[in-house]
Chains A and B, each alone.
Chain A
């Protein structure tokens, strides 16, 4: 009986594959998914508080183009510098 159920499940999964591949936008990362992933990694996996990155007020003279959400990239630099994974920032100038 178990073998029969396993066979049916596999057959259904195989039958569904072409339909999934033909879904419009398949192979292209959906925008919402990407942005959600970005926040999931930091808030769920790394258990970081939102306020760690998102400031409520813009620091005077913050050398970044103004946005609604204020995130000083200096916070990102502490983890994402050269040698880390993923590294966004190059060799730190001395």
Chain B
């Protein structure tokens, strides 16, 4: 089996938001529905204080609460594929917002309307690319929920090229946020392969998931800074 996971090392992260910027550029950013966000907070007591940088994207849970909610309203727009990636089908989404309401990490966002990046200046950059020329996950729609896809268009390309072993290694087959991190605080790969870099680092660093009390089984692991919330 192959199960892709992400490791985020808070001890390395310096809060530069390169990951969020790369995600925005790669995935046709829409202002109302960010796929990658940064949460910052302080721990400790003066003078021994520390700033924690916690980037948040979809956790691609083993038991996704968003899917449970979506199925319960009958839309069945959310699925989990063979690589463990949780995806939203925009054509099936009815815009009820239940997925956004139940996610323990507040990940899915509803695009109430598609706003231009530069209001009043027409379409810019990626906005001018026709829907037909985009991957289905980039065909953004109003009144539709969106979230991180683990850059599934790149994973699909790896499958098409017969290079799934290069996922997490080659630029063409690795999520953009993980590629650009200047401090190598992010790592992506197959956790079912005990020899993969991500497996080794999760084991070596004793990395953990966030908000485990929800029992959703997130596929994003964090190396927690001392005093950081989990």
Question: Which A residues lie within 8 Å of B215 (CB)?
Answer: 81-82, 89-93
A35 at the interface (CB under 8 A from B): yes
Question: Which A residues lie within 8 Å of B106 (CB)?
Answer: 64-67, 73
Mask for A68-79, Cβ within 8 A of B = 1, else 0? 000101101100
| Chain A 22-42 residues near chain B, CB threshold 8 A | 28-29, 31, 34-35, 38
Q: Chain A's nearest CB lies how many Å from the CB of B157?
A: 27
Question: Which B residues lie within 8 Å of A86 (CB)?
Answer: 68-69, 72
CB-CB nearest in chain A for B147: A65
Please determine whether B104 and A89 come into contact, CB atoms closer than 8 angstroms.
yes
Q: Chain B's nearest CB lies how many Å from the CB of A72?
A: 9
A18 at the interface (CB under 8 A from B): no
CB-CB nearest in chain B for A82: B215
CA distance A16 to B129 in the complex (A): 45
CA distance A31 to B213 in the complex (A): 30
B158 at the interface (CB under 8 A from A): no
CA distance A66 to B34 in the complex (A): 10
- A63 with B211: in contact, given A73-B106, A90-B217 (CB under 8 Å)? yes
Please determine whether B214 and A64 come into contact, CB atoms closer than 8 angstroms.
no
CA distance A38 to B39 in the complex (A): 28
CA distance A74 to B65 in the complex (A): 13
Please determine whether B62 and A90 come into contact, CB atoms closer than 8 angstroms.
yes
Q: Chain A's nearest CB lies how many Å from the CB of B223?
A: 15
Please determine whether A88 and B69 come into contact, CB atoms closer than 8 angstroms.
yes
A10 at the interface (CB under 8 A from B): no
| Chain B 80-113 residues near chain A, CB threshold 8 A | 94-98, 101-107, 109
Please determine whether A89 and B214 come into contact, CB atoms closer than 8 angstroms.
yes
CA distance A64 to B104 in the complex (A): 7
CB-CB nearest in chain B for A92: B215
A60 at the interface (CB under 8 A from B): yes
| Chain B 189-230 residues near chain A, CB threshold 8 A | 210-217, 228-230
Please determine whether A65 and B107 come into contact, CB atoms closer than 8 angstroms.
yes
B54 at the interface (CB under 8 A from A): yes
Please determine whether B210 and A89 come into contact, CB atoms closer than 8 angstroms.
no
CA distance A93 to B213 in the complex (A): 6
Question: Which A residues lie within 8 Å of B69 (CB)?
Answer: 86, 88
B63 at the interface (CB under 8 A from A): yes
Contact sample, A vs B, 6 pairs, CB 8 Å cutoff: A31-B94, A34-B95, A61-B39, A63-B230, A71-B101, A90-B214
Nearest 7 pairs of A and B residues by beta carbon: A64-B106, A90-B63, A34-B96, A61-B41, A90-B215, A88-B65, A65-B106
